[in-house]
Amino acid sequence: MSTLMSGARMLLECLSREGVDCMFGYPGGVTLPLYDVLYDHPLRHVLVRHEENAAFAAEGYARATGKVGVCCATSGPGATNLTTGLVDAMMDSIPIVAITGQVSTKLIGSDAFQEADTFGITRSCTKHNYLVKTLEDLPQIVHEAFYVAASGRPGPVLVDIPKDVFQAQGHYSHVTAIHLPGYKVFTEGHTGQIRRALQLIQKAERALVYGGGGIIAADASVELREFVERTHFPAVNTLMGLGALPSEHPNFISMPGMHGSYAANMAMSNADLLIALGVRFDDRVTGRLAAFAPHAKVIHVDIDPAEIGKNRAPDVPIVGDVKRVLTKFNEALAENRKADGGLEAARNAWWSQIRRWKQEHPLQPVTSDTEIKPQHLMTEIDRLSQGRAIVTSDVGQHQMWAAQLVRFGEPRLWINSGGLGAMGFGLPSAIGAQFARPDKLVFAVVGDGGFQMSIPELATIAAYGLPVKIVVMNNGYLGMVRQWQELFYNNRLSAVELDCFPDAEKLAGAYGFKGRTIDKPWELAAALETAVNEPGPYLLNVKVSPAECVYPMVPAGGAINEMVLGPPQPVAAK
């Protein structure tokens, strides 16, 4: 017979059994019983400085490892602060479990101190959520939460626990099975559809693999690699899929979409077969949907049936785990070697065409003798990373340049807020990633805007001595918004200038670590090396040329082959 324990201890028991070694949180009134048990519990609690960042850190942990990230907040403001992170995890299908405290069951609905309707508020922010009404339900719910978060299409799950449930005494009863009759997970893929897909694959002349975050979530990089090598098909990886195929792989073109490369977008637009793997035909990838991949038949593999046909009706829909489906593709391809038949010439011509597009408009490292170009900064980070470092980012220009120019040799290195596009994500997610992967060099590549949204977390980095290298791409603007105002709003720059950035050396110094500001291109390489060689954290504020815009660019509503490849040429004087 198990021992009598409090709900708080029972929660930690559940977490331990789920293999949780680290959680990110912030205490408060109703979670006092939980924090009292944490006081001498082996589970590591990381104290962040804002609950939103607890969720982002849990995401960073999950994105870097594939394990479920855990965050914790108190009732009311603690829970509401988590929501941005929950939506972020929802949009990017990241498995996290959020534990929130709630006022005691008797007080729920009475507008008690620090009460908020967390269950109601987070309904649309989560894959599923729970309000635990009695201690008896706690183990079943917590184990269910981990199962739901990690299985199928991963996502955030929230468990709201009232204070009296934390305090109640009970016995932990082992949960042997999860019974969720309505939660259907389709993994295998329909045999008939897989056969039809293979027929298209065998017949295609201009095939293109369009791989996304689902490849990484399904841990299917090896299978993807085998697939492109067996078929010799070119591949693009979306923003969420970078690293699914190594950037250096000969079959890899680059990222498609609004700021994707010319070659990737042209390949999308001219392919006769798109093999869409773990992607959702996001508007940032497809541009104007009606003009997207107009010549292509589409095979769409996704574990979420609701993604199939949501934006583009596929010719062959396959609901399944992309790892399982790719394995089946590969097995069939291994048996059947006659594939290429009379298609070799056409397929070679397709490859030559792609190579020509690559040569015509490569993603080029832009440099200058007088100022640091943002692209220069990214290529220097790339040089130090060599495809091996973890790079986190916020959203905006720096994110796009990093995605274009930093190479990733494996999955789970590129950590960014893709779907939600949340500023302030880069720094806290780097904290989570560094805890998850202490062996890895972690760059938090952030803009001056996003950095200032997450400045409180410098304290967390300092307190835990995390060797995160914070690189601020500082152009003095909310760069991406400025870019749009410049290009589409007659250059009327409204509320985008970020004056008064703190002195990086003093700021880092105030937290007890090193920092520096640079603005000369010849200082860049050495300054980054110094940051990397510093055993602890480092804040490098890089003042880049303020006026740079991200290209190529597909204007909103445009087709992706209608790219703007560079800044408008100055009009000749009359």
Confirm whether 114 is a catalytic residue: yes
For other proteins, which is the closer residue by CB, 15 or 403? 15
- Under the binding rule (CB under 8 A), the answer on residue 92 touching other proteins is no
| 172 makes contact with other proteins (CB under 8 A) | yes
In the bound state with other proteins, the residue whose beta carbon lies nearer, of 42 and 568, is 42
Q: How far is the CB of 452 from other proteins (least distance, A)?
A: 31
Active-site hit among 24, 102, 144, 163: 163
Give the DSSP per-residue string, 59-118.
Answer: HHHHHHHSSPEEEEE-STHHHHHHHHHHHHHHHHT--EEEEEEE--GGGTTTT-TT---H
Taking residues 176 to 215 in sequence order and writing x for each that binds other proteins by CB under 8 A, - otherwise, the string is: xxxxxxxxxx------------------------------
Q: Is residue 400 among the annotated active site residues?
A: no
Closer residue to other proteins in complex, CB, 304/371: 304
- Does residue 51 carry a catalytic annotation? yes
Q: Determine if 39 is a binding residue for other proteins (CB under 8 A).
A: no
42 contacts other proteins (rule: CB under 8 A) = yes
Q: Does 309 sit near other proteins (CB under 8 A)?
A: yes
Beta strand residue intervals within 499-547, DSSP E: 514-518, 538-543
> What residues contact residue 86 under an 8 Å CB cut-off, 6+ apart?
55, 96, 98, 122, 125, 126, 156, 158
Number of residues that bind other proteins (CB under 8 A): 40
Identify the residue among 2, 169, 348, 352 touching other proteins (CB under 8 A): 2
- How far apart (Å, rounded) are the C-alpha atoms in residues 284 and 311? 12
Query: Residue 371 in contact with residue 398, Cβ under 8 Å?
Result: no
Cα(211)–Cα(198) distance, integer angstroms: 17
Q: How far is the CB of 182 from other proteins (least distance, A)?
A: 4
Q: Which of 1, 111, 174, 439 binds other proteins (CB under 8 A)?
A: 174
Q: Does 134 interact with other proteins (rule: CB under 8 A)? A: no
DSSP state of 222: H
Residue number with CB closer to other proteins (190 or 232): 190
Select 172 or 451, whichever has its Cβ closest to other proteins.
172
Q: 146 exposed, middle or buried (CB, 10 Å; 0-12, 13-18, 19+)? A: buried
User: Catalytic residue among 378, 480, 553, 563, which?
Assistant: 480
Q: What are phi and psi of 86, to 5 degrees?
A: -65, -45
Name which of 40 and 369 has its Cβ closer to other proteins.
40
Under the binding rule (CB under 8 A), the answer on residue 40 touching other proteins is: yes
Cβ neighbors of 556 (< 8 A, separation 6 or more) are 488
Interaction with other proteins in 99-128: which residues (CB under 8 A)? 119-120, 123-124, 127-128
Residues 277-306 that bind other proteins (CB under 8 A): 304-306
Q: Which is nearer to other proteins, 305 or 536 (CB)?
A: 305
CB 38, min distance to other proteins, A = 11
Secondary structure letter of residue 18 according to DSSP: T
Burial pattern 168-204, b for ≥16 Cβ within 10 A else e, equals bebebeebeeeeeeeeeebeebbeebbebbbebbbeb
Q: What is the CA radius of gyration of the chain?
A: 25
Cβ proximity of 24 and 98 under 8 Å: no
The Cβ of residue 80 has, within 10 Å, a number of other Cβ atoms equal to 18
Positions touching other proteins (CB under 8 A) are: 2-3, 5, 9, 12-13, 16-17, 40-42, 119-120, 123-124, 127-129, 131, 143, 147-148, 172, 174-185, 304-306, 309-310
Active-site residues, by number, are 51, 113-114, 163, 480
